[in-house]
Structure 1
């Protein structure tokens, strides 16, 4: 029994609507929109710092930071994990932008979850992974700055 093009298109549309409904139910409107239109995704090749952490769940999160005048100008993420990890990485990157190191160091997994609003309880570890990776990227930036200042001080002597 052959399916004609109209029947096939109707079946695909029905499946897509079911997937969209499931995602919206799991992540709420904010998470659903971000899932549909990802932001801040990708590796940054001219980053001032980055970190990569593998979570207990097996997902790996990377966060890249670019600073200008002591403020995060750009932040991106990359993950090999699930949609929940991608959403959390995206929101962690967004939360970092426009903030100085003192402000970035206060960003937690709870802050990421607050931005999302609705998130499956069993996936909350993804927010913690994103925040932990962000903190490590900030730590690497601060170490780089300290090393740079030490080198400059030696040159100036």
Structure 2
């Protein structure tokens, strides 16, 4: 499995531009924090209190994919793409990829609703 103990993206961001939190049907929670500069994701962090190792792997994979990307590129990231890259999620963690991507999407929506009315 992917190493999650040395995860640079894991934690809570103190002053994010946008944030979101979702609890999945399995009970795992996921939070995403984005710091944007000129519509570019300059920094990203995710956090989970109740999430399993698969949830953390998915959160890290999504974070790695979107850091440095613009919003359109981030919105193009799909659960299928995360599952393809993190094959250990295919068996029992596919819902974790969906949870991570959906939480990231919601953080982008939070940004758009705050700053683009």
| SS state at 2:14 partner | coil
Residue 114 (structure 1) shift = 2.3
Q: Does 1:126 pair with 2:96?
A: yes
- What count of residue pairs does the alignment treat as equivalent? 116
Give, in whole Å, the separation in 1 of the partners of 2:103 and 2:95: 12
Secondary structure at 1:126 match in 2: helix
Question: Counterparts in 2 of 1:78-97, with a 5 A limit?
Answer: 78-80=47-49, 81-97=51-67
Higher Cα Rg: structure 1 or 2?
A: 1
Secondary structure at 2:31 match in 1: strand
State the partner residue of 1:19: none
The structure in which a higher percent of residues are strand is 2
- Report the counterpart of residue 54 of structure 1 in structure 2: 23
TM-score (norm 1): 0.69
> Deviations along 1:1-44, whole A, 9 cap, x unmatched?
xxxxxxxxxxxxxxxxxxxxxxxxxx3xxx1xx32422300000
**Given the alignment, which residue of 9, 31, 42 partners 1:73?**
42
3-state SS of 1:35 partner: coil
1:67 aligned counterpart, secondary structure? strand
Name which structure has the greater RCO, CA cutoff 8 Å, separation 6+: 2
TM-score normalized with structure 2 length: 0.91
Give CA-to-partner distance per residue, 1:39-91, whole Å, 9 cap, x none. Answer: 30000011000000000000110000001121000000001211111111111
Matched, 1:111 2:81: yes
Larger helix share, 1 or 2: 1
Distance 1:64 1:35 in 2: 18
Q: Kindly report the root-mean-square deviation, in angstroms, between the aligned alpha carbons of the 2 structures.
A: 1.3
Question: What CA deviation, in whole Å up to 9, does each residue of 1:99-140 have, x standing for no partner?
Answer: 111111111111222222333412110011000000000010
Corresponding residue SS for 1:65:
strand
